[in-house]
A and B are shown apart, each in its own frame.
Chain A
Amino acid sequence: MTTDPHDPGAAHGLKTTLVVGLEIHVELATASKMWTAAPNVAHPDHFDAEPNTLLSPVAVGLPGTLPVMNKAAVEMSVKVGLALNCSIAKRSKWDRKSYYYPDLPKNYQISQYDIPLCYDGGFEIPLSNDEEPEHKHINIIRAHLEEDAGKLLHELPGGGFSDGSLVDLNRAGTPLLEIVTAPDFRTADEAVTFCNMLRDICRHLGVTEGIMQRGHMRFEPNINVIIENKAGETFKTPIVEVKNLNSFRAVHGAIIHEHTRQVEAWMVDGRVMGGGEKSTRGWDDAKEVTTLQREKEDAHDYRYFPDPDLVEVVVDEAWLEEQRAALPELPAAKRKRYIDDLHLKPIDADTLLAEPANAAYFDAVIDAGADSKRTGAFLLNTAMKRANEHNTTLDRLGATPQQTAGLVAMLANDKISSSAAEPLFGYCCESDETPEKLAEHHGLIQVSDDGALDAWVDEVIANPKLAQAVEDVKAGKGKAIGALVGAVMKLSKGQANPKAVSAKINEKLSG
């Protein structure tokens, strides 16, 4: 047996294998809640709603109220299921998961117990950042739809004292998709790669804003370790579930920490999996350790039963096909197309894909007829700078894809210089006029016309202050031409075509 020095068992002469499965909660960005028309806090229109202003009698669980299913939440879930290569249940149903907690107004959560909407899927993750990485298939066991709970505060916002706990039910009833993977991850990096890809897929599908700080995606790894001793005997440590992680960093840290902690714990107590519930731990972001969570012995007695208030969901072929047809191009396919067909550099493709709205804008500019490489370069160098300054995405800057395509074409045809692209884009963002008209109006058209160039170049060559540069160029010192081109650009207020100017100067001075 050879041991890997990075293996936390190595110091004890053990070989260990990490085993991780993930449960991921995704808040769907529907306009209204799962069971009632009250606004959904996971929708951008309601992100910063005041506490308890997104309520309805159903949302607070008043007696006698009845839930009505949100069609969009079902459709978004079906889309995610299809994108994750899942089968979609023809019939699924709703079950009550009973537990008492003040953030859960009905005292039960409506969920799907034995018949999830989506099941048996998965996708390939790359195992490195190499150009041609090895891949690994991660199985997805199920993805079911349920509702989120409210939020519990232990002091007033801003730190004011409360002698009780405070409940904000804005989040109660937000549609929540719970995705469960098989225990297929063997490293923390694999798990984080999967989480990243899942977030990208969901954001490109437009089913969630995916803002981690707002809790739009929460991750719960189930972790244990297979330990092999020198005699070749193997032991499995008890499974630990780490609750409610809301950053990739926390997912990574919690898995790494559990790997070491479980090996150390096994060295001390020799406890192995089997019998008893898995234990639940939380993640301490500051100390970077997991901590045992206090748990009631009956916490998992949820007494699921079919919800009599809700009828079944039947996804027939026609509805399924409608959802399939509405699927947008997924990030992996888009990336491949950007690199293979549109000749973008992988890093540029990734920059555009990081924000679905930016990728969609790029696609729209290409659709408007622009050259892909030039468009990529312009968007990433110039337009993205403006988007970052305005803290927004390319589509919200005010320039239509047609305007941008026109601008890129003007660059390609040397009608404007690259230094004119930035101000011209700015004008496009603030006006509906075509970039051609705007360039003319603001004097940004590049002049390659012989007569005009002749006049400018002659004036510069005749300038006594530049006599030395003129002599240097004549003497074959190529670098000296920069000063002369610069002077012509200044004289022409940036309108001269620098390439044509350079050629013109050489022509006149070599003659």
Chain B
Amino acid sequence: MSNQAQPISEDDVRHVAKLARLTLNDEQVHHFTDQLGAVLGYIAQLGELDVEGVEPLAHPLDLVNVLREDVAQPGADRDAMLANAPDRQDAFFKVPKVLGDGGGA
């Protein structure tokens, strides 16, 4: 695949990797740029279709309003929940020290 046809640049891959908290070496960046480029190129075939007048689709299933009645079930066993985490302290999941109060919610 020539560089010009490449739908994603190595800088894009580095940026996305950083957002996903992945550390990639140069070789990996090169490798994933090719790989993601191939995927994006494949998907880009959809662009050849004429979708004039077609409503955007939020979901391929023909279902709407899959809802649950608001009934609470008891919370899961705490030890069982914490057991899946790499680390815990007392009643908490433990993660490497972070600063600040929250991400973005």
A residues engaging B (CB < 8 A)? Answer: 25, 30-32, 37-40, 43, 45-46, 49-57, 60, 62, 68-74, 91, 93, 97-104, 109, 146-149, 152-154, 156, 160, 162-169, 176, 243-244, 282, 293-294, 298-299, 301-303, 306, 308, 310-314
When each residue 56-94 of chain B gets 1 if its CB lies under 8 Å from chain A and 0 otherwise, what string results? 001101011111111111111010011010010111111
Whether A31 lies near B71 (C-beta < 8 A) is: yes
Which listed residue, B73, B84, B101, touches A32 by the CB 8 Å rule?
Answer: B73
Give the distance to chain A from B20, nearest Cβ to Cβ, in Å: 7
B67 vs chain A, min Cβ distance (A): 4
Contact of B66 among A68, A164, A294 (CB under 8 A): A68
Given contacts A71-B67, A311-B65, whether A166 and B84 have CB atoms under 8 Å apart is no
A464 → chain B closest CB, angstroms = 73
For the complex, is B30 an interface residue (Cβ under 8 Å from A)?
no
Smallest distance from the beta carbon of A202 to chain B beta carbons, Å?
17
CA A109 to CA B103, docked complex, whole Å = 10
Does B98 sit within 8 A of A, measured CB to CB? yes
Q: Residues of B contacting A104 with CB < 8 Å?
A: 103, 105
Beyond A100-B20, A306-B59, is A71–B97 a contact (Cβ under 8 Å)? no
**Chain B residues with a Cβ under 8 A of chain A:** 15, 18-21, 58-59, 61, 63-76, 78, 81-82, 84, 87, 89-105
Bound CA span A162–B93, Å: 11
Task: Enumerate chain B residues within 8 angstroms of A308, measured Cβ to Cβ.
Answer: 59
Q: Is the CB of A52 within 8 A of B81?
A: yes
CB pair A72 B103 closer than 8 Å? no
**Distance in Å from the Cβ of B91 to the closest Cβ of chain A?**
4
Q: Which of B19, B75, B91, B94 has the most CB of A within 10 A?
A: B75
**Measured CA separation A146–B103 after assembly (Å):** 14
Instruction: For the A-B complex with A104-B103, A308-B59 known, give 12 more contacts whose Cβ atoms are closer than 8 Å.
Output: A32-B70, A68-B66, A93-B59, A109-B104, A153-B92, A156-B89, A166-B95, A168-B91, A168-B92, A311-B59, A312-B59, A313-B65
Q: Which residues of A contact B78 (CB under 8 A)?
A: 50, 52-53, 55
